[in-house]
Each structure stands twice: as structure tokens, then as C-alpha cells.
Amino acid sequence: MTPPSSGSLSPTGDSTQPTPRSPAVLPAVTRGATAEENSGTAVRAVQGREGGPELRTDTSHRQREHALEGQVPPGQSHRPDAIAAERAASTASELPRHPSPAPPRNSTSGQGTNAQPRPPRRSLVRRIKERWRRRWLDLACRWRPLSGLHCLISGELSREAQAMLRGRQRHLMQLEEAGGEAVLFQLRRNTHRLEKGLIMRPRRPQFALDYIAETVASFEQSVADATGGKEVSPGQQDDCQTLRWARDVLGDYFRVVRRDAMLDGLFDRYDAARQRFDDSLHTSSEAHALTPYRRDLQPLGVSIDDFERLAWRRRSVRWYQQRPVPREVIDRAIRIAGLSPSACNRQPFQFRVYDDPALVQRIGAIPGGTAGFAENFPGLVVLVGQMQAFPLGRDRHVIYIDASLAAMSFQYALELQGVGSCCINWPDVESRERQMAEAIGLAGHERVVMLISFGYPDPDGMVPCSSKKPLHSIRSYNQR
């Protein structure tokens, strides 16, 4: 890898990313101070530092972080002295000789006098309230029934609990009525379990006995739902992917399992449904069976350096060019996101993409964390979790985990296509939830996980340095 010349380094430590140089661009960025983890209270200044001098320092700061970690930003020399030289060079060439003085310490406006302002006085009532709140918190976190009482009184978890219960109710109702997406969710989960049984070492002669009848019933039902006894048109073929997977895995299962009378009966039912399904498809044979396989272990041609460079390059981009991102680009990124791991391969989320400017404006303004920059979003994703995928409350967190894993891949896939993005927090605030439900037509069992803005980065827009924690503070081995 060729080290880039120090002068061309951007704040991300990336040699090709455009580096904002002119102070003339700064006022636009300073506007972007935004509320992030917000319910309107926790305000985090995303930008608004007074420009260039700090940016240059950030460049060297990132290199210093690498040096401290014993790591080297990809594309740069491994020698610490090279990092220091890089830093000195960029400092010498781009830092003003006399950085503007820091504002007086006690000044909020940055133009204050040396007079010591008095700390704001809280009213007596407020202080008493705060003290009680603190006492109650100490108590409530010590004893679980009191924690429950706290949630009941505060209503803090009520919307989430309701969505979870609605999801569960919908799931069970659809299973009872043998129709709807819950059957497909169940089929996906069980097909996944069968595949795990198939790859088990050593494989047991009989397995999945406690759920194979349920799986065959879901397969029969899903075939009936999908085909209705008719042919599946080529346009619908993609929707049958779950059925293809289940068909092939069930086929493998019945081939290898030691059959008894019960399994023979289930095989006959499976085979009849399979026949119906195959007859309804236009293609009679498919190239690959969707069953367990040995991975190709040939080197990929994508090195860890490549990946690290990508990770350094991706930053939360908040300023975009005013031109649309082609849908092929977005869809490709979502297809890649869809390859992410998910619990029992259920994939209980949807990327709802908005590229209609009026809708983007409306939806982008709902979360508070977009204040100051929502107006320039060319596109927006609302990542929605589907609680109806789960019959049990214990899995209530899975939508957030699965959707977030997919979100990360989505952002990397966008980045590799030249498209910047930024996650947007979705705080659990009733009024905003109502607005969002109305704006995008959310059902009661669906939960917003986060929003993601995207677009081609404005070369004049800056990104925060967003320094990362050092390795030792996020990693431990064998901790007990």
C-alpha cells in the first residue's frame, strides 16, 4: 500500500476523501449543531467548532490514536516517526500560526467579560423533587417488583410492551388461522433449525422430532397461500424464496433422517405440497439446492486493510449533494444488508426507503436528532422491526439487534458506492411515534428501530472526528 502524501490527508486519515479547506464553508456547517440522543433534552453538538485549526489537529489526533493502539491507519507508513512527521507536516502547512484564543472560561457567548457568573439557582421545589426522584430510583432498582411498579407508573416501557404483545397476538392468531406472515416466520425459523440439525457433527439419525410436524404444516400452508393452486408468475418468483429454501431443506431432511411411521406420513404430506409448489413455478429445475454446503475458502481478494480503510472512510455524513441516489444503488445496498446474520434467520425488519422529496422532508423532520440538517436529505430509510415475528416476549430485543446488524452492512455498502449516510436516533417519545405511524402507516406491532439518511456527500460538508475508544477499553479476554 502506498502511503499518501501527508498534505492530502483528510480528517478521516483518508487520502482521497475531500478535505474542507476554506473557512468560507464553515458557517454552513456551524448551523448543524443538532440534538441527537434526543427527546429534546440531550443536545450534542455535532459541529460548530470554530473551523480549520481543530480539524487539522483531528487529523493528527486520529493518527495518534492509531499509534497509541500500535495500529496504523491503512494506507500509511507503519513507522511512528512517519506518523509524527505526517502530523508535523499537516500542522505546519495547514494550521494557522496563531490559533484564535479560546473564549473566556465562564462566558457562554464566547464574548464575555471576566466577571464570574453565579451558578443558576434551582428552586426549592425542584430540588426536593430531584431528591425524591433519586431516592425512588435507588429503591426501585434494588427490588424487582418496585422496578416493575416504576415502569407501570412512568409508562416508560408501555409502548414497547404493547407493540410486543400486539406482535405476539398477531403471530399466534395467524398461526391459529393458518395464514399470514407469521406462518412464514415460523417456517423460516424451523427451516433454519433443520439446517442446524443437518450440519450437526455427528448428525443424529433422528432429529427435529418436536417441530417437524409443525414445519411440514407451515410449508403446506405457505405453498397454499403463495400459489392458491395457480401458477406463480415470474414477478412473484422472488417472493417464493423462503418456500424454495424450505422445500430443499425438508427434502434433505427426509432423505437423511431415519424414518418411522410418523415421519413417513409427514414425508407424504411434504411431497404432495412440494409437487404443487414445483408445478406452480415456471422454472422446473434450479441450479443450486438451497441446502447446507461447504464454503468456498479461497482468498476473497478483499484484504483486512481494504476493510479497515472502508471502516475509516465511513463516517456519519450529514451534508449531501442535492441529487437523487439511483434506486439500483440503494437496492444493491439493501440486498447486501439482507445477507447479515439474524436470529434464527427470521430477518424481522424492513427497509422502508423514501426518496420522494416531500415525504423525505416530512419524515426527516419527525426525529429530533435531525435539527439543522434534515432539509438537505436526498433520501431516508426508516428501519422498521416486525414484532409479529415472535411468539415469545423473551425475543423482544431481536428486532433491534437484527435490524442494526443489517443497518451496518447497508451503510458500508452505500459507502462503497460513493454514498454517505447517517443513522438517526429514534427515541421512544409518544408524540413522535404517533407522527411516524401516521406518516409511514405503521401497524401496532411494528417498531421503528432507527432512521438512516443517505445521499452523495457534499464535498464542502465536514464530518465530526468522532474519536473512537481505544481497543483496551472496549475489549477484554476471559473477564470474570
Residue ranges that bind ligand FMN, judged by CB under 6 A: 34, 36, 46, 315-316, 318, 367, 369, 422-425, 450, 463, 466
Which residues are bridge partners to 447 per DSSP? 385
Beta carbon nearer to ligand FMN, 185 or 412: 412
Minimum distance from residue 68 beta carbon to ligand FMN (Å): 18
DSSP class of 100: P
For every residue of 126-152, DSSP letters joined together read: HHHHHHHHHHHHHHHTTSHHHHHHHHH
Cα dihedral sign, 427-173-236-269 = positive
Closest separation in Å from C-beta 463 to ligand FMN: 6
Nearer to ligand FMN, 197 or 378 (CB): 378
What is the number of the residue whose Cβ is closest to ligand FMN? 369
Sheet holding 379-386, edge to edge: 349-354, 379-386, 446-455, 420-424
**Is the separation of the CB atoms in 194 and 249 below 8 Å?**
yes
Q: Which of 310, 308, 415, 312 is nearest to 12 (CA)?
A: 312
Q: Which is nearer to ligand FMN, 321 or 425 (CB)?
A: 425
Q: How far is the CB of 32 from ligand FMN (least distance, A)?
A: 8
In the complex, the smallest distance separating the C-beta of residue 17 from ligand FMN, rounded to whole angstroms, is 12
Question: Can you read off the three cell numbers belonging to residue 433?
Answer: 411515534
Residue with smaller CB distance to ligand FMN, 387 or 422: 422
Smaller CB separation from ligand FMN, 167 or 369: 369
Question: Burial, 147: exposed, middle or buried (Cβ in 10 Å; 0-12, 13-18, 19+)?
Answer: middle
Q: What share of the chain is helix, strand, coil (3-state, %, to 5)?
A: 50, 10, 40
Distance CA 155, CA 161 (A): 10
**DSSP letter, residue 465:** -
* Residue 36 or 446 having the CB closest to ligand FMN: 36
HEC profile of 295-337: CCCCCCCCCHHHHHHHHHHCCECCCECCCCCCHHHHHHHHHHH
Joined together, the cell numbers standing for residue 332 give 444493491
Q: Which is nearer to ligand FMN, 414 or 423 (CB)?
A: 423
CB of 31 vs ligand FMN, minimal distance in Å: 13
Q: Smallest distance from the beta carbon of 44 to ligand FMN, in angstroms?
A: 7
Closer of 185 and 312 to ligand FMN (Cβ): 312
User: Closest distance between ligand FMN and the C-beta of residue 45, in Å?
Assistant: 10
Q: Minimum distance between the CB of residue 280 and ligand FMN, rounded to whole angstroms?
A: 42
**The three grid cell numbers given for residue 469, joined into one nine-digit string:** 475508544
